[in-house]
Amino acid sequence: MLNKLMPREGRFFDLFNAHAAQIVEGGRALAQLFANFDASAMHAEHIDAAERNADKITHDTITLLHRTFITPIDRDQIHQLITNMDDVLDLIQDTAESIVLYDIRRVSPEAQQLAQICQMTCDRVKIAVGLLADLRHPEAILKTCEEIDRLESDADRVMRSAMSRLFREESDVKQLIKLRTIYELLELITDRCEDVANIVEGIVLEHS
């Protein structure tokens, strides 16, 4: 009787998917911001909206976790996954805010490329998280996580090349400092996506 009264799985996978959808919104808006500075304010507003929505989903997930007795996966994994996903959007928002705060008027092709890689990693985070609800076919999840790892490595290479060119060619010290910060933020976004992939991989391996 007591077992029937205990709250069970809840809506964790629905909440993960809803949060991942906001990550995709933020990643696409960030790539569009770097591709079209003339509309940067509009894209920044989209990012802010996605971050606020994601914050609410994170709060709802943690509240549900506290109320749920039996969870579909380990409680710590649920908490780690949703908080690391939230970190992705926080960094996307930080990057957009830095563009405004630093009054950056131009960006390099490398920064645009990094923003595109960020968008691709965000898209794959959504795919990986969306597959978590059915762990009977782990191969697709692990393949998507491998793609995220590869994209993070691509971002590392682009960043190293960008930094090298920046310090060789940029004579304006202020611009150099600004762009270096943006490069670092963009690369961190892919790092946080990789962190999410690592958590997803851990969940899959534990349940396979």
Provide the pLDDT for residue 9: 57
d(CA 17, CA 20): 5
78-128 tens-digit pLDDT: 999 999 999 999 999 999 999 988 888 788 899 999 999 999 999 999 999
Closest C-alpha to 152, from 120, 200, 107, 110: 120
Please provide the average confidence, as pLDDT, over all residues in the chain. Answer: 91
How many percent of the chain have pLDDT more than 70? 95
Among 16-25, 105-114, 153-162, the least confident range: 105-114
What per-residue confidence (pLDDT) applies to 135? 82
In terms of Cα–Cα distance, which of 159, 143, 168 is closest to 191?
A: 159
Mean pLDDT score, 126-151: 93
Question: What was the pLDDT predicted at 10?
Answer: 57
Q: How confident is the model over 51-83, as pLDDT tens digits?
A: 999 999 999 999 999 988 889 889 999 999 999
Residue 5: pLDDT band (50, 70, 90) is: very low
pLDDT, residue 2, reads 33
Full 3-state SS string of 119-174? HHHHHHHHHHHHCCCCCCCHHHHHHHHHHHHHHHHHHHHHHHHHHHHHHHHCCCHH
Domain map of the chain by residue range?
10-207
Fold (topology level) of 10-207: Methane Monooxygenase Hydroxylase; Chain G, domain 1 (1.20.58)
